[in-house]
Structures are given as C-alpha cells and as structure tokens.
Amino acid sequence: MTQARPGRRAFLERSALALGAASLPLEVLAQTTLKIRPEWQAFKTTPRYDSLLKAVRLMKANTNAADPNSWAYWTSIHLNKCPHSIPYFLAWHRGYLYHFERRLRTVSGDSLLVLPYWDYYSYPNLPAEFTNPNNANPLFVARINTNVRPVLTMAPFAPTVLNFQRGTSNAFETLCEDAPHNPVHDLIGGVMATMESPIDPIFWLHHANIDRLWVAWVSAGGGRKMPATTNAYWSGTHVYNSSLSLSRLSTYSNRSSLGYRYANEALPTRLPLARLADPNIRRAQAGARELASSLPPVGSFRIPSPRETGKGRFALSGAEKVGLDENSLSVQLPISAEHARTLAAIGGNKAGRIPGRADTYRSVHITLDSVELAELAKQGGFYYELYLNIPSRRTALGRPLNLYIGNLGAFKINSAAHHGGGAVQLRYPIRRHLAGALADELSALSLSFVRINGDHSPRGGVIGVGELRLEVSTEDDE
Ligand SMILES: [Cu+2]
C-alpha cells in the first residue's frame, strides 16, 4: 500500500532532514512505500511467518554475541543501554525495533519481512505459537503466565493525557511505560521480567504493540501533542552500541522517516471482558462503607522517625521492613499536625516549610527504599498496584479516593538494580494538588499494595521493602 504523499522528492528531502548523517540507510531514502506491521493473528497466515521462524532460528544458533546476526547481540544492547523510567523510553525502543527488523530481513533473506505486533487488548492470551514447548520451536522460552488480561489498563488513552514526554504532567510516555508496558513484562515473567527480556521472542511483539499504541495516541488527536520537530527534545542520538545508533529526530515519526505503519492505528476502546469482572475494579466502585471495610488488611510495622533522608528530602511518615507476598496489604502513614501543615502549604502555594529547617519543599513522593526481590521472585509472574487511600476526598462520582500512584514488580526492580547498582530505591510522585488532601487525613492516610496475579504466580514472600516513606522534597517536578 502506498501512502499519499506530496511527491517523492519532498519525501526524500524530509527523510534526509530527519535522519542523522551517521545513520543514513540509503535504502530508506529510496523507499517510497510504507511497510505494514500486522497483528500476529494476521501475520501468522502469511509467508512472512516462515521467514521470521527462519531468522529467529538462525540468530539463536549463532553464538557470537558480537555478531549482529546473533540473538545475543540484540539482548546485550538492551542489557547495556535501554532507558527505563527515564526520557526517551518510547523513542529509543522505536529505533531499537527498527534496527532489529532490518536485521531480521537480512538474516531471513526476505526483504518483505516486517515485525508483527501482539495486540493484547484484543487477544490477551499469549499466541499459541509462542507457548508450544516443542524443542524445535524457536519462539518458545519458559515463562510463568500466558494471559495478561489482569494487568491491562485504559489509563494512557484517557482524553486528559495530552502531553507526551516523561517529565511533563499527564504524559503518555510515563503512563504507557508504567502500564501496560511494565506489568506485561512482569506477569509473563521468566526472562521477560529481567533486563535480558529480548531473549524471549514475545518481547519484540510486545514492544511493537507499545510502539503502535504511541502511533495510535498521536493519530487520536484531541489535543494530544508531541514536542515539535524543532524542539530540543529531538536533538541528539539514540545510542545502541559503539557501532549502532539513530538520530532522535528520525524516531519522531514512524511513517516519514522510518517508512512503516501498523495495520491498526486506533487506540483501544475497551478492555477485554475478563478484566471488567476483576475483583479490584469492583472494590474501587464500592460505596464508602464497603470500601473502608474492603481495603487490604493493614499490617503492623515500626514507624521510622521523621527525618532528613537526603539532600532536600524529608520523610514525614513511613513504615520499616514491609514484606510483600501473594496477599494484598495496606500500610498506615500517620502524619503529625505540624507536618500536615507542611503538606497543606505545598498543596496550596507550592512551598512548604518544616520548623527548624531552611529548605523549601515543593513536591511529595512515596519512596520505597532498599527494595529486594526474593530469589524465587526474580523471574516475576506477579505485580502490585499501589494506591494511596485518601478517605476524606471523593471522586467526581462521590466515591472515596483511592489514588493509583504506580506499580511494583520484578521488571522495575531488576531494571533499577541493573542500572543503579547498590540498594534499589523507587519513587512515586504524588500530584501537588493532592498534597492538601493528604494533610487533611492525619491518621487516616494509608498506602495499599494490591497484588495482581496470573494463573501461575508464585506464592510466599517475594519483595522486601527496607523502608517505605512519605517524603517531601525541594524538587519541583510539576
Ligand atoms: Cu520493555
């Protein structure tokens, strides 16, 4: 299929502009038709399916990790360079998939081979071709769960999510990485829960789907906006290794620079049915009384003293040694009247003070410090949604506010451990306008870890949190 264009010359000029000189593949410049990446169910009925199997087989058989024709070469790029929880998550992976797809064509000898995507919003079960444990099946690896329905969310597609890049508020990139990206890694488990996730062939279809959701988000319009091509955001280069890179600007548009599109570029409009019946959703829709009585049980923990926890950071409340297992759990976060005033000030005029301290605090976070994974949990297969329970506040529908602040699973912990070295610390920002609401709670504020399981999730202790804290910070992150 050929996309209507102003003319071939204009296209070549635009492409030349968009691609960095160091990474100019001439065949891309010469390309005038868009390659179409299909959904797996359609892909597997085409001759391209055999080409993919052939490429994966050959690449897995090649044990020279320095050779781009080997499977290990692509895993080591992800292990060493992938940006998670930092800017360029989407754009970096777009370029990574682009280079990988070209390599699949080279290895298979099929110039028409494209990467398929796995649309789990339509087909929440891992495609059967990936789960057949036959030795000769190059798409099989050991995993924990095969159905990702419990972790899907519509949050990134909400009409209020209008910004793109991490670091802005209501940002698609931040939300989409948070979910569905992270929990799909987590729930499938096995290597997918680690930084070596590209070993699992489903990694590539998962990320093609994430890339597709980005394309769909842009084309949905409604005020959703990317940084302009002239924005400094697009200057510089994505680096994959010492000999592989791509200009950031060329990852702005899948069509005009990279020459591909997706068979379906519409945002999902609904969750698969089983998720609609999920018990956690019912809980969130309960009335005030039911909600209060159905919060996950409150554990009892030692409360650390309020104190400075780093430069410009102060812990108002918290809990020590929080252990997570197959059950959901709530942790109380009692706040002194003095510190409630600090929160109210942050919520009111963006500047909170603590008596006796010189700092001016501007943001609020939940910080999980010294997070550890039990040995059995390193392969994932589960995850937790984190909710701040603010019972005195009501949603637009009159329900008590359970504020989703993020999630926690093996993928995020493995990633932080790999990139950060040392003790793992994870931070969950709380929007400033809610700081005043936290201040109103004093003793009623709590944080819930809602455990989400698949069919074969591990039981027993999986995660240890050395200290959980409600912190204020001098950073202004909104
Ligand atoms: Cu990923």
pLDDT single digits (tens) 256-274: 999 999 999 999 999 887 6
Residue 273 placed within a domain: no
Given a cut of 80, whether residue 371 has pLDDT beyond it is: yes
pLDDT in tens, 116-129: 999 999 999 999 99
Please give the distance, rounded to the nearest whole angstrom, from the Cα atom of residue 289 to the centre of ligand 1.
Answer: 39
115 has pLDDT over 90? yes
Does residue 159 lie within any of the structural domains? yes
Task: Choose one of 201, 229, 262: the last residue of a domain.
Answer: 262
Ligand 1 midpoint to CA 94 (Å) = 11
294 and 246 in a common domain: no
Q: How close is the Cα of 136 to the center of ligand 1, in Å?
A: 26
CA of 389 from ligand 1 middle (Å) equals 29
What is the arithmetic mean of pLDDT over 11-34? 49
Banded model confidence at residue 276, pLDDT cuts 50, 70, 90: low
pLDDT digit string (tens) for 135-176?
899 999 999 999 999 899 999 999 999 999 998 888 999 999
Pairing of strands 363-373, 426-430: antiparallel
pLDDT digit string, tens, across residues 418-440: 877 678 999 999 988 888 888 77
> From residue 107, how far is each of 55, 140, 270 by CA, in Å?
6, 20, 38
Domain end residue (candidates: 216, 237, 262): 262
- CA of 452 from ligand 1 middle (Å) equals 19
State the pLDDT at residue 439: 77
pLDDT at residue number 107: 98
Do 235 and 143 share a structural domain? yes
Query: Does residue 267 fall inside a structural domain?
Result: no
Measured CA to CA, the distance from residue 291 to residue 429 in angstroms comes to 24
In the reported structure, the alpha carbon of residue 246 is separated from the centroid of ligand 1 by a whole-number distance in angstroms of 19
**Is 268 inside a domain boundary?**
no
363-373 and 329-332 strand pairing: unpaired
3-state secondary structure of 189: coil
Taking the C-alpha atoms of residue 150 and residue 268, their distance in angstroms, rounded to an integer, is 16
pLDDT of residue 201 exceeding 90, the answer is yes
Q: Is residue 270 part of a domain?
A: no
The predicted structure's pLDDT at residue 420: 73
Q: Please give the Cα distance from 472 to 442 (Å, whole number).
A: 15
Identify whether residues 254 and 324 lie together within a single domain: no
Domain that holds residue 59: 8-262
Distance 91 CA to ligand 1 centre (A): 12
Within this chain, do residues 256 and 385 fall inside the same structural domain, yes or no?
Answer: no
Q: Are residues 309 and 252 in the same domain?
A: no
Q: What is the pLDDT of residue 275?
A: 54
127 lies in the same domain as 21: yes
Q: Are residues 206 and 319 in the same domain?
A: no
409 alpha carbon – ligand 1 mean position (Å)? 13
Paired residues of 318 in beta bridges: 469
- 405 with 429, same domain? yes
Q: Which residues pair with 245 in a beta bridge?
A: 239
CA of 183 to the centre of ligand 1 (A): 10
What is residue 391's predicted lDDT score, i.e. its pLDDT? Answer: 79
Among residues 230, 262, 294, the one where a domain terminates is 262
Overall number of domains in the chain: 2
